[in-house]
Amino acid sequence: MVDHQDVSNPDAAKIKESCLGLLVRREHSQKELLNKLLVKGWAKDDILAVIDELAQQSWQSDARYAESYARHRIHKGYGPVWIAYELRKNGVDAVNLDDIVQQTAGSWMDLLEQVYSKKYGHDSVLNRNEWAKRSRFLMQRGFSGTMISALFDHLNIKL
């Protein structure tokens, strides 16, 4: 069976083969696929046509990619700010991270406490420098200042 696209564009079959090769390894966003295939030298319009076709056939899904990526990052101990930033950078905006973290870690606070405890244990009195150092670490992991303050209150950590 010959696809109409294959007849008008001989590169379409090669582009599709490359896309499928990437997608069988892991989920990719449309933007990731586009960027990886542009590097191979194919025309942007040809790539976009193939990616659209794969999305219509459910071979590619930005929603599946976002869920898979978010789960992976949550397991690595990253917070909502970082994950949302990385997803936007990869061309995905609309995803409910709260649902994913609830299924994966319980809540953002549970995840934050796990990340903190794994790295620092349970000291209850900190000097200002140590408090700032720990806060910076958690912020770099993608947790908001409000979340960090709530964690320190929850764990009764005082300056």
Q: Is the dihedral of CA 81, 87, 89, 93 positive or negative?
A: negative
**pLDDT tens readout for residues 74-100:** 999 999 999 999 999 999 987 788 888
Domains of the chain by range and CATH?
A: 4-60 (1.10.10.10), 64-154 (no CATH)
**pLDDT tens readout for residues 22-77:** 999 999 999 999 999 999 999 999 999 999 999 999 999 998 999 999 999 999 99
Mean pLDDT of the chain: 89
d(CA 158, CA 123): 9
Residue 18: name the closest of 1, 7, 46, 2 by CA.
46
Quote the pTM value. 0.82
Backbone angles phi, psi at 96, to 5 degrees: -95, 95
Q: What band does 158 get if pLDDT is binned at 50, 70 and 90?
A: confident
Q: Per-residue b/e over 87-108, b at no fewer than 16 CB within 10 Å?
A: beebbbeebebeebbeebbeeb
- Asked if residue 6 has pLDDT above 50, the reply is no
Q: Is 6:14 a contact under the CB 8 Å cutoff?
A: no
42 DSSP 8-state letter: -
d(CA 56, CA 43): 20
- Asked if residue 18 has pLDDT above 60, the reply is yes
pLDDT at position 1 is 36
pLDDT at position 8 is 59
| Higher pLDDT pick, 115 / 96 | 115
**pLDDT tens readout for residues 121-156:** 877 788 899 999 999 999 999 999 999 999 999 998
d(CA 84, CA 44): 26
| Angle of CA points 139, 145, 146, to nearest 5° | 140
Residue 49: name the closest of 40, 37, 39 by CA.
37
